[in-house]
Amino acid sequence: DAGVTQSPTHLIKTRGQQVTLRCSPKSGHDTVSWYQQALGQGPQFIFQYYEEEERQRGNFPDRFSGHQFPNYSSELNVNALLLGDSALYLCASSLTGGTGELFFGEGSRLTVL
């Protein structure tokens, strides 16, 4: 049973560029959440997707956008990258109507130079 998989694991971008991060949820899960974890901090909720719609959004600017596909996989896009966007981006999946337990991937480490 494959868990949550994320790609790429590491990437380096320069300021002003755009990045796309990808997530495949755990088998059987239909909901995907994205979190940003800055160095030495706890994860911060970016947004959650269910039925291809953004269900809730945290305190992040519009430069952060997402998408969920019919197979429940998801993408996180960040435009006009800033140095402060350097962080570990975690994807978590869950099953709506279940216990709500989140299963996390290993994250994508983004460095903005």
Which residues lie near other proteins (CB under 8 A)? 31, 33, 35, 40-45, 48, 50, 55-56, 58, 88, 90, 92, 94, 100-102, 104-107, 109
In the complex, the smallest distance separating the C-beta of residue 16 from other proteins, rounded to whole angstroms, is: 27
Shortest reach from residue 21's CB to other proteins, in Å: 14
* C-beta separation of 108 from 10 below 8 A: yes
Q: How far is the CB of 69 from other proteins (least distance, A)?
A: 19
Q: Taking a C-beta distance cutoff of 8 angstroms, is the pair 25, 98 a contact?
A: no
For other proteins, give the closer residue by CB, 50 or 75.
Answer: 50
Residue 74 or 94: which CB sits closer to other proteins?
94
- The two tokens of residue 35 are 């979190």
Q: Would you say 57 or 67 has its CB closer to other proteins?
A: 57
Nearer to other proteins, 30 or 79 (CB): 30
